[in-house]
Structure 1
Amino acid sequence: MKTLPLLVGLAVLGIAAPSAAASRLDDPVDIEIPHVGVTLHEQPGDPKRVAAFATDKPYLRDKDADTFTAKKGFVELIPAPKGGRAVGLSTTYAGNRDSVIVIGPGPRQSVRIKTVKQPLVTDAPYWTRDGGKVVVTIQRKSGKKWLAQGFVTVDVRARKARTVTVPGVAKDAYFEWSPDGRSLVSSYKDGVRFYRPNGQVERTFTGIGALAGGEDAFSPSGKQLVTYCPARYDEDLCLWDASSGKLGKRVNVQVNRSWGWWDEDHLLAVVKQGGAYQVVALDLQGQTTQVLADITAASWKKNEPYLVYTPS
């Protein structure tokens, strides 16, 4: 939902981490983020690391550092998978239009790309794996709810946006890219639907549950798709063949949130641990193999912080 301050700014607030962290590049590092209630646990060789996070405002990781900077004027900020850029959604309209703002690759570079007209808004940016395009979901407010209307694809290099209204789209849908960047994917009723960039339906997997959260519901190879299991199963997470929609495995785990994939053989999830929460890497049997972050109970209750993991 948009608020309307006078100016979209890039004013920042530095969030410092322990000064010794940057000097211990070959050792495990614990990064406590002050005043946020989150402590990251990073190890050499990790396939991903936290490039941004969001609490009451979005934060970006500083280049080659273990510090994060808050970015004012944005409701969301998501770094590109290959680094160098981040895409943000503004808290304001430019004239009567919503915007996608691309930050980088230079430290002071930003480009505003206008999208839908007021009162429509855009939400939930997702990058293609090559970092060349972004998709955002179009929403219209109805009463107290925001309902999906379609999507906008943004060619970052060409600085062009294409708006596509999708008839019959699930009202709670969010669009992301297929692994090859040629199709858009969203939850649809009790399953998942694939769309061409013009909004035409390619295919639908019925009865497989809603797409899991995180930056990518597809495994690094693109061969597996993770969903929240449909109601007929007791497990929380299900893996499916991304080409056929055939069930591959039900992961015996109960999670608070699923954030996609850690690597081809592990999932990212938030689980409750005692009175607090942890971000963990789970093997495909549902066992925790690595604790990636600790989140205090107070932090989770207040803001449900979202950590954006991108390839290291």
Structure 2
Amino acid sequence: MNPRNRNIIIAVIIVVIVAVGAFFAFGNKAKPAKAASKTVNIGIMSGIKQDDIIWKAVSKTAKDKYNITLKFTQFTDYTQPNAALANGDTDLNAFQHHAFLDAWNKANGNKLVALGNTFITPIHLYSSKVKSVSDIANGSTIAVPNDASNESRALYVLKSAGLINLSVSGDTLATVKDISSNPKHLVIKELDASQTARALDSVEAAVINTNYATAAKLTSDQSIFAEPVNKDSAQWINLIAAKKSDENNKVFKEVVEAYQSEATKAAIKEAYPHKEEIPAWDLKLK
């Protein structure tokens, strides 16, 4: 073979080898894989249309911004979600305020933590029998939730309405034993929170949590007193909770960020145009 031709062939072979090597080293490098989708299961109370609107917006933000898929486990009463979270049946929950979580932790060994605030819902005193607090007759029966934190909140509402006085104040949980003055001799009927709206026909008035009031289609005309929203309301701000061992979980913090968004604010406004629910993660209470 002509030495010149041999050199050309060798040169071509070298070029081919270099090109193939470059292809496998660079040209055939796989494109960066999209981050794996993450699924987070959140415990919530049985859904109502308004809450569905809000969680739909949160789910969209979580998926679009963080590639997190939200799934939901629904519960029917307030005693269930924290136990399910502590047992690992859910990853997070979003149903309670700080006072409820504090009370649950004290009773169950401080297993859960708040990851971030969500909203606050001023609760109301409702009646189907009277139009104002002053119309409540002596000896009337008033229904309140029977779980520790919501009963306390309801009693403070009755105090703010001028119906009773309490021997405790501030963020101290109140019970019926703390009623120091009851000038109308009201009978306080303690019921599961889910039953307070149903009891309206058999009591003079009832302090009802907003989700149950909304589910019962109670109107603003049936509210005879609204809880004030001020610096004393901080304990009633709702939150997203996690197990203490997950306090620094990056994915769970991203779920909180997905909730604390402008899209969620817009959804809350759409779902509750009369401000029955108020975004609270940047709320300045005075």
TM over 0.5: no
Please identify the structure whose Cα radius of gyration is greater.
Answer: 2
* TM value normalised by structure 2: 0.25
Larger % of strand: which? 1
Greater RCO between the two (CA within 8 Å, min separation 6)?
2
* TM value normalised by structure 1: 0.24
